[in-house]
Structure formats: structure tokens, C-alpha cells
Amino acid sequence: MNKKINVTIWNEFYHERTRESVKKIYPDGIHGALRDKLSEFGEYNLTVLTQDMEEHGLTDEVLANTDVLIWWGHAKHHEVADSVVEKVKARVLDGMGFIALHSAHASKIFKSLMGTSCRVKWRENDEKERLWVIEPSHPIVKNVPEYIEIEEEETYGERFEIPTPDELIFVSWFKGGEVFRSGCTFKRGLGKIFYFRPGHEEYPIYYRDDIIRVIKNAIDWACPDGITKPTLGHVEPLEVVKDKFEGKSMEERTHANLGK
């Protein structure tokens, strides 16, 4: 039997406690809804963390034991400690999967991984969104229909200030005329990253089976199972070869190659 994937769901958990309309939709927080829906698959060890916890819950131990980290944030990005962002980034580079949901596009960690502003156009106007699958053979859209329709969502529009994605899985159309790259994959170091757009806090998006299916598939895709860690730095040759630095010190051996 396969080992269960360790999934950590991280949520800012601010709007659900401060705005009545959001509290009504997500009484247990967005993290609670994601945990409950993902638990139905019976395939994951699910941990939920919120920003107000010590170290935002992201201790060394939690990060070391996380295969895939899901991130939702919006109003409090700037209050996430830089030291924690650096630790999360190091884990992604080391192979941990990372799924950025909706307004996490502007989180410190996503911006740091992308290296760009990650800004978008936006408008909150209850407009219809249609997400088109444009890479049907990709594992993230396994058992997902040709398109997903959301009757009311916040609108995002291009340009989305990200580097060119490795793969573009979804493109959204919005009733007001905008289009948006709503499902994008990236690799950073050994880590796989998926950005998925739906999930504005004023709509019950994370109770939808189709949206959860995409997130489930993204977890399975981003999980670092089976990665062989590469050897980095100075190594001995695999074949018998003449050593041009024979008898020389390591300093002489490396003087022309500092930093590799």
C-alpha cells in the first residue's frame, strides 16, 4: 500500500474571522473547508496551519514532514515573517510541492519563488468565470471536464506579472471581457509549483467537487515522491581519468571555480 502524502494547508484566516459574509461561507475557515473536502479521498495526512500561530505554524519539523504545502493568503501577506518565507522557499527548492491558491499570487513566498511582482488586474463584481482546460493530458486535469464554470467569482485579468509558466493548464474567460492564466506550473530547484486562481473568499468555491478535484490532482502531481537528490559540488570522476591537479591542494584545485 502506498504511503499517505503529507499535505499541509496554510491559511491566513483573517477574512473568515472579521467579515460576517465570509464567516458564513467558511465557518471553519478556508483551511477547514479544504481539509474536509480533501479528507474525503482518504489519501492524505492533512495538517492545517494559520498565520497567527507561532512561526505561522511553519516550524522546521512541520516543513520537513510536508510533501505538499497549500497556501491561501490575501490581506496579511506583509505580516508573514521573511525568515519563514526563506525557510519555505528552501524546502520548495529541496523538493516540497507548493500550491498557491487565488490571492496567494501576491504572497511573499510566491513572489520570491517567481522573482517578479505577480500583480494582476482585478475587479470584484460577481462575474461569471469559465476556466478552459488547455492541456488535457496533464495529470492536474485528470477527470476534469473540458471547462469549469463558476457563476460568480472575483475577476482577474492579464497581464499577470509572472515569468512564462513551464506549463499552462487553464485559461480563464470572464464575463467582463478579461482573460487570465488561471492554472500554471513552475519548477524551482527540485520543487514543483502550481498556481490555481479560483477561490475568492466571498464565494463558496472550495466546496465544489470540480475545484477540489484539480487541487487533489495538483497535490498528487507536486508530491516529491521518488526524487533522487543530485550530488552537488566537487566530485570524484566516475571513470578512471588522469587527475590534472594531482598533488595539488583543494585551494589550487578550486581557485578558478569558486562558487560552483
Cβ atoms 89, 111 nearer than 8 A: no
Name the pairing type of β-strands 147-157 and 121-133.
Answer: antiparallel
Range 62-101, binding Zn ion (CB under 5 A): none
Cβ atoms 144, 220 nearer than 8 A: no
Q: Which stretch binds Zn ion (CB under 5 A): 3-11, 37-45, 61-69, 196-204?
A: 196-204
12 binds Zn ion, rule: CB under 5 A? no
Q: Which stretch binds Zn ion (CB under 5 A): 19-27, 192-200, 236-244, 247-255?
A: 192-200
Strand ranges across the sheet with 121-133: 44-50, 5-11, 68-72, 97-101, 191-196, 179-188, 167-174, 121-133, 147-157
Q: What angle do CA 192, 48, 154 make, to 5 degrees?
A: 70
11 binds Zn ion, rule: CB under 5 A? no
- 159: cis peptide before it, omega within 30°? yes
16 binds Zn ion, rule: CB under 5 A? no
Smaller CB distance to Zn ion: residue 179 or 190?
179
Of 173, 171, 169, 211, the residue nearest 193 (C-alpha): 169
Smaller CB distance to Zn ion: residue 199 or 224?
199
185 binds Zn ion, rule: CB under 5 A? no
Candidates 154, 160, 162, 203; binder of Zn ion (CB under 5 A) is: 154
C-alpha distance from residue 241 to each of 131, 236, 238, 254 (Å):
56, 10, 9, 18
Smaller CB distance to Zn ion: residue 129 or 154?
154
**Least separation, in Å, of the C-beta of 216 and Zn ion?**
22
Rounded to an integer, what distance in angstroms lies between the CA atom of residue 141 and that of residue 144? 5
Rounded to an integer, what distance in angstroms lies between the CA atom of residue 48 and that of residue 10? 6
**Least separation, in Å, of the C-beta of 201 and Zn ion?**
6
172 binds Zn ion, rule: CB under 5 A? no
103 binds Zn ion, rule: CB under 5 A? yes
Residue nearest to Zn ion (CB): 200
- What is the phi/psi pair of residue 244, to 5°? -70, -15
**Least separation, in Å, of the C-beta of 200 and Zn ion?**
4
Map residues 197-226 to x or -, x wherever contact with Zn ion holds by CB under 5 A.
---x--------------------------
182 binds Zn ion, rule: CB under 5 A? no
**Least separation, in Å, of the C-beta of 122 and Zn ion?**
7
Of 107, 108, 91, 102, the residue nearest 6 (C-alpha): 91
Rounded to an integer, what distance in angstroms lies between the CA atom of residue 134 and that of residue 64? 34
Q: Which stretch binds Zn ion (CB under 5 A): 18-26, 103-111, 130-138, 160-168?
A: 103-111
Contact residues toward Zn ion (CB under 5 A) are 103, 154, 200
